[in-house]
Chain A
């Protein structure tokens, strides 16, 4: 598709379960970001990919959070042993890193995670 695609759009899980959230960026976009948006809050940076590598993981809140990216395209954010405080909307964004790049990120619609 033309935009950033995220799945699932909604996920309800029980505390302690693992979840995987998927992001399919815009074709050709080498940079990929994961953000978290808690209810009524702004966006919190989680992790940044350039190609398949993640040179900046500084925003991951704990070792229960991990992410990978394969083929320079699709990325998966995994949350292990989910806790209620993990409930949030997880947003993925991509951008093209190249000459003239002015930092515009294109966002997906997000995956809303609810941990019961």
Chain B
């Protein structure tokens, strides 16, 4: 069974601080995908990044960076120089390759981390 743990329920920082959101996952699959989604107050889940299990390279996109470490089953997300607009709930998710029978992607979400960036 798949499991995603986001131990940090809520984080509050002051603007311009760096913040890291932790994500630890469990899966018996050897091939899988990891995602981060952002959920602003509007409610829509906004895709941020996808990483497959064969690619352990860290990725940087502007102020966002992701650290994937297969050895510790972690996929942490860092926001550098946080801004008020970064305030949202962030979800880490794990997906398999899809059921051979149904095609359904089993996408398992963590419980989310609420980030509040104070001005």
A interface residue numbers (CB < 8 A to B):
3, 31, 33, 40-43, 45, 48, 50, 55-56, 89, 91, 93, 95, 97, 101-110, 112
Give the contacting residue for B45; candidates A31, A56, A91; CB below 8 A.
A91
Complex CA–CA separation, A106 to B97 (angstroms)? 17
B103 near A103: Cβ-Cβ < 8 Å: no
A45-B107, A102-B33 known; 10 other A-B pairs, CB under 8 Å?
A31-B104, A42-B110, A50-B103, A91-B45, A102-B52, A103-B35, A104-B50, A105-B107, A109-B42, A109-B44
- Please give me the 6 A-B residue pairs with the lowest Cβ-Cβ distance, nearest first: A55-B102, A107-B45, A109-B44, A48-B104, A42-B109, A103-B95
Q: List 15 A-B contacts (CB under 8 A).
A: A41-B111, A42-B110, A42-B111, A43-B91, A55-B102, A56-B99, A56-B104, A89-B43, A93-B45, A97-B98, A101-B98, A102-B33, A103-B98, A104-B35, A107-B46
Give the contacting residue for B33; candidates A31, A42, A103, A108; CB below 8 A.
A103
B52 near A42: Cβ-Cβ < 8 Å: no
Given contacts A41-B111, A43-B109, A102-B33, contact A55 B47 (CB under 8 A): no
B42 near A95: Cβ-Cβ < 8 Å: no
* Min CB–CB distance B95 → chain A (angstroms): 4
B44 near A107: Cβ-Cβ < 8 Å: yes
Complex contacts, A89 vs chain B, CB 8 Å = 43
Given contacts A55-B103, A97-B103, contact A106 B47 (CB under 8 A): yes
B43 near A110: Cβ-Cβ < 8 Å: yes
Complex CA–CA separation, A111 to B95 (angstroms)? 24
B105 near A95: Cβ-Cβ < 8 Å: yes
- With CB as the reference atom, state the residue of chain A lying closest to B9: A40
B44 near A110: Cβ-Cβ < 8 Å: yes
A104 near B103: Cβ-Cβ < 8 Å: no
- With CB as the reference atom, state the residue of chain A lying closest to B101: A55
